[in-house]
């Protein structure tokens, strides 16, 4: 029972520290310490230590000798490298996931994206980034898990986390395109069309890459 409790506390600490990183509360290049996090999260240092080891293993934290751990600073080259790997493996994950994700989840995601897309076309205020990120996580994480290969799912999760800590101000927003691309992926999954799901995922990730390249060409 004690071991299970320790594991649960470590996972809680992990999620809270990860949220601090993804929300920008702890900026890229910033140093994190057990003592400070224990104070902020009102937790003992043991689960904090375990959580930091998990985040270090995922490449989100970099050990800086005696100075402790630092939030990884993603350069554009790092981002593009991670995206290139995602382009290789996520289409296959989508192919494997076709017909295997819960219909209710797919229907809900499609309805949510359709509402966001219609709002964007009607000139409604853009939804908060956290809302869009939450939907994006549900889609890509759900596909990775439904693919039925835990190692593949973990690789995708790690790559996505690494790209999410990149300075989002440097990534052009593609709200309408992203919504439609995600709908195409989800519809193919719902209809159990594996090859179409794979192609739709590839188009989506290619679109992300191409928009960044266009952005960089204008800098």
Residue of 91, 111, 95 whose CA lies nearest to 103: 111
Checking if the pLDDT of 24 tops 90, the result is: no
Q: What is the mean pLDDT of residues 2-18?
A: 84
Better-scored residue on pLDDT, 71 or 4: 71
The DSSP call for residue 67 is: G
Q: Name the architecture of domain 76-218.
A: Up-down Bundle (1.20)
Q: Across the chain, what does the average pLDDT equal?
A: 89
Give the Å distances, CA to CA, from 95 to 44, 141, 146, 179: 43, 14, 10, 19
* Dihedral sign computed on CA atoms, order 17, 22, 25, 28: positive
Residue 219 binned pLDDT confidence (cut-offs 50, 70, 90): low
Per-residue pLDDT tens over the stretch 139-152: 999 999 999 999 99
pLDDT of 2 strictly over 50: no
Every domain range in the chain assigned CATH 1.10.10.10: 2-71
The domain 2-71 is placed in CATH, from the list 1.20.140.10, 1.10.10.10, 2.40.50.140, 3.40.50.620, at 1.10.10.10
Question: What are 185's two structure tokens?
Answer: 């992926």
| pLDDT on residue 4 | 66
pTM: 0.81
- Token readout for 165 is 């800590």
Residue 102 burial (10 A CB sphere; 0-12, 13-18, 19+)? exposed
Start-end ranges of CATH 1.20.120.530 in the chain? 76-218
| Whole-number Å distance between alpha carbons of 188 and 106 | 10
Tens digits of residue pLDDT in 124-177 = 888 887 788 889 999 999 999 999 999 999 999 999 988 887 654 445 568 899
């Amino acid at each position: 029972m004690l071991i299970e409790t320790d594991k649960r506390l470590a996972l809680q600490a992990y999620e809270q520290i990860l949220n601090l990183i993804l929300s920008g509360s702890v900026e890229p290049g910033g140093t994190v310490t057990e003592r400070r996090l224990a104070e902020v999260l009102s937790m003992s240092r043991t689960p904090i230590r375990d959580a930091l080891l998990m985040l270090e293993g995922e490449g989100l934290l970099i050990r800086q000798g005696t100075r402790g751990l630092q939030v990884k600073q993603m350069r554009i080259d790092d981002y593009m490298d991670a995206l290139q790997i995602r382009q290789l493996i996520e289409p296959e994950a989508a192919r494997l996931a076709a017909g295997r994700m819960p219909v209710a989840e797919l229907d809900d995601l499609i309805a949510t994206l359709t509402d966001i897309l219609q709002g964007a076309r009607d000139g409604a205020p853009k939804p908060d980034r956290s809302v869009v990120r939450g939907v994006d996580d549900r889609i890509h994480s759900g596909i990775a898990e439904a693919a039925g290969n835990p190692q593949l799912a973990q690789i995708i999760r790690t790559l996505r986390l690494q790209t999410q800590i990149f300075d989002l101000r440097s990534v052009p927003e593609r709200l309408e395109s992203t919504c439609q691309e995600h709908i195409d992926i989800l519809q193919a999954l719902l209809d159990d069309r594996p090859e179409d799901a794979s192609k739709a995922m590839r188009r989506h990730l290619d679109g992300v890459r191409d928009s960044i390249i266009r952005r960089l060409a204008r800098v």
